[in-house]
Amino acid sequence: MEVTTHQQGQRDVPHFERKLRAKWQEVRTRAREVLLRAGNERYVQIAGQVHDVEDESLADLLVDVNLAEASRDIQEIRDIEDALRRIALGTYGTCVRCKRPIEGRRLEAFPTASRCTQCQREYEKGHPAPPPSL
Ligand SMILES: [Zn+2]
C-alpha cells in the first residue's frame, strides 16, 4: 500500500526531471520549425530567438505570434514549466487536488501530470470529485 505523503518521498524525481527537460527541448525545436514554416518575417525573427530564449519566456513568445498551430505547443510548454516548478517546490508527484501521490505509472506516461488518475477523470468531466469512497 502506498503511503500518503506530501513529500516527493521515494520518487525518482531526477528521472522525471530529465524526461521533462528532454520533452521541453523537443517542443522547443518543434515550435521553432512552426515559426520558420510560417514564413512571416517577424516569425522567422522570433524563431531565431527561440534558440536561446529563457525557459520561462518561450510560451509567451509563442502566444505573442498568435499562431494557431503553436497553441498546442504553448499548452505543452506551460505544462512542462509547471511540472518543473513543482519539482523546484518539492510538490512534484503529488496530486494538486487530493494531495495524494500520483500513480507512478501515470507519471511515467504523463510526466507533466498534476492530478492523479481519479482527479483527472473528474476534472475532465468538469465537476468536483466526490469524496473518496474507500
Ligand atoms: Zn487526486
Beta bridge partners of 94: 101
User: How far, in Å, from the CA of 46 to the mean position of ligand 1?
Assistant: 38
Chain mean pLDDT for the chain: 80
Question: Taking a C-beta distance cutoff of 8 angstroms, is the pair 17, 84 a contact?
Answer: yes
pLDDT above 90: residue 33: no
User: How far, in Å, from the CA of 96 to the mean position of ligand 1?
Assistant: 7
User: How far, in Å, from the CA of 101 to the mean position of ligand 1?
Assistant: 8
User: How far, in Å, from the CA of 117 to the mean position of ligand 1?
Assistant: 7
| pLDDT 10s digits, 38-91 | 777 777 777 776 666 555 567 777 776 667 777 788 888 889 999 999 999 999
Q: What pLDDT does 78 receive?
A: 87
Beta bridge partners of 101: 94
Q: What pLDDT does 50 receive?
A: 64
Q: What pLDDT does 34 receive?
A: 81
User: How far, in Å, from the CA of 98 to the mean position of ligand 1?
Assistant: 4
Rounded to whole angstroms, the Cα distance separating 87 from 56 reads: 15
Residue 1's pLDDT band (boundaries 50, 70, 90)?
Answer: very low
Q: What pLDDT does 8 receive?
A: 46
Q: What pLDDT does 4 receive?
A: 46
Rounded to whole angstroms, the Cα distance separating 58 from 55 reads: 6
